[in-house]
Chain A
Amino acid sequence: MKSPFNFLRVSANDQRIENLKELSLFKRLTARELRELDELLHDRLYQKDEVIFDEGDSGLGLFIVRSGRVKIVSSHAALQRLAPEIGPGDYFGELALFEESQRTARAVALEPTQVLALFRTEFFSLLERDRGIGVKILFELSRTVVWRSRKLLANQPHLPTV
């Protein structure tokens, strides 16, 4: 049985840091930077068919899949055509890190799924005190946003691909 005072125990988290390093979003971070970032990451576990966030929700953070699969469903035709499935190491909800806008899609766990959540205001506080980490994460995020935008535009018949 888990002790109710687990938070008081000093954990040997070197393995966790190694695991974080394997995630695409954090691959450029050093062990020291990952340790600092890990203070801000929140572990969540979702059951099969459980809604992680819904379309229209106020977006507050980004989710990174550690294990399991997540289905993205949207009422927007272009997004729905992409209908991406997110697997281990990938992330979703990244636009919430840039602005507090409504989610444009629904994220549902397709199987028991473990995710890491990075909350926008905590990420901003990290950006303020250590720009180096922020730049590395934002660079990876930008690459993903660009890649997803290209993919989205490629599926639009009336818009040129940029």
Chain B
Amino acid sequence: MRNEPELGVLTWGVIVVVTCLILYLFERVLWLVVPGLLALVGYYCLQPLVQALVRAGLKHRTAGKVVTGLLFLVTALGVILLLSLATTRAVGWKTVTAHYVQGGLDFLGKTEALLAEKLPLMERSALVRGTPTNLHAAADRFVEKYLGRLLLQMIYWLPALLLVPYLTYFILQDGNRFKKYVIRSVPNAFFEKTLLLFDRVDHSLQNFLVGLVKLTFLDTACLGLGLWLLGISHPLLLGLIAAVLAWVPYVGSLGGCVLVVMVAATDFPNELVTIYGCILLFICVRLLDDFVFLPLTVGRSLRLHPLLSVLMLFLGAAVAGPAGLLLVLPVLGVVAVITETLGQILTDERLRKRYRHARQLQRTMAEVG
């Protein structure tokens, strides 16, 4: 049970400003923040396994090594399996992908024709004239316009993503040791409150991840139900893929929508209403996600008011773009906890007095010695 007073308006102002500053900085070093965040996710997922091995009799460091070794082995096996599958079924996959991409392109072509028919003014616009109608043209255009940029982005992100298992390993191995080391350097007077601070930060991060899992579950349920009602094949699988892709703001949601539209356009090539229904469903779920589900799951997990969560999402996007959207709630949660606890420490006259007393004792000891 916590009996601390509610945070004041001024404190919340400080929290919001500090959150924005951190987001601004994070956006500048995104190559380090993203692997750090993924490593934390890995840590929270693997920590129970390490603890289970410790309970089975292994030392903590050995358990950490075993779990990360297993993770590496499973990843390597997965990659080998995927590669072998890719070589044997490459032709089949290519055909299926081409089939769905062509379905999507056909849908675009039909939409263009419809737009040109209903709105003659649109006929000459770049929007209507710009879309390739067959797969080869689309592939050529993709290679010409986007492939170089995509490869550059991959080269930029690959080393950063390779950091993820490395960071996860060290957080698992030395996270607790590092925490104890930091706490040891804190003066005795503030020791208990610092422990409380670490505990609250840890809970905030855990709650954020739990909130994210709840959000994914809700998104999957809504999208799956909607797609099932529209008669799309594999609604739950498509809903799950789209919900997981939505972890990456904007780009992920767009990717999920394009995927579902391609499937719908291929399954129902002559039913434009169904395809538009899919797009409408995505827009509705997106809005629900941003304004209802996110504040109620992630926001509530972090003990943030739904209105504040929504406002902070806008602010996060304004300060740091898509990265800001993804990071704003966990950063806000952690900053709020740190500010609240630091405020308690700094305004507690008893603690400050005890700290001064300890310093005085130290000085006396040094003089006597």
Contact = CB atoms under 8 A, between A and B. Distances in A.
A is bound by B:
yes
B361 A50 contact: yes
Interface in B194-246: 195-196, 199
Interface residues of B, number: 34
Contact of A100 (B2, B57, B189, B365): B2
Given A7-B177, A61-B195, A48 B61 contact: no
Consensus secondary structure, chain A interface: mixed
Contact of B365 (A44, A47, A119, A122): A47
A54 B352 CA distance: 13
Interface in B323-337: none
B195 A6 contact: no
Interface in A65-116: 99-100
Interface in B154-211: 174, 176-178, 180-181, 183-184, 188-189, 191-193, 195-196, 199
B333 to A, nearest CB: 17
A44 B191 contact: yes
Interface residues of A, number: 32
Contacts of A32: 54-55, 57
B196 A48 contact: no
A4 to B, nearest CB: 9
A108 to B, nearest CB: 10
A95 to B, nearest CB: 14
A48 B361 contact: yes
Contacts, number: 75
Interface in A27-52: 32, 35-36, 39, 42-44, 46-52
B89 interface: no
Contact of B199 (A51, A53, A122): A122
A99 B3 CA distance: 12
A10 B365 CA distance: 33
Contacts of B350: 54, 56-57
A60 interface: yes
B354 interface: yes
Most buried by B among A6, A7, A56, A100: A7
A7 B181 contact: yes
Contacts of A61: 192, 195
A8 interface: yes
B34 to A, nearest CB: 25
B35 to A, nearest CB: 20
B55 A42 contact: no
B188 A54 contact: no
A6 B181 contact: yes
Contact of A7 (B3, B180, B192): B180
A50 B188 contact: yes
3 closest Cβ pairs, A-B complex: A7-B181, A60-B192, A7-B177
26 contacts: A6-B181, A8-B177, A32-B54, A35-B59, A36-B51, A42-B183, A43-B184, A44-B191, A46-B188, A48-B361, A49-B361, A50-B188, A51-B354, A51-B357, A52-B188, A56-B350, A57-B350, A60-B192, A60-B193, A100-B1, A117-B191, A117-B192, A119-B192, A119-B199, A129-B51, A130-B55
Interface of B: 1-3, 48, 51, 54-55, 57, 59-61, 174, 176-178, 180-181, 183-184, 188-189, 191-193, 195-196, 199, 350, 354, 357-358, 361-362, 365
Given A121-B196, A129-B51, 12 more contacts: A7-B177, A7-B181, A36-B51, A42-B183, A42-B195, A47-B358, A47-B361, A50-B361, A53-B192, A54-B350, A60-B193, A117-B191
Interface of A: 6-8, 10, 32, 35-36, 39, 42-44, 46-54, 56-57, 60-61, 99-100, 117, 119, 121-122, 129-130
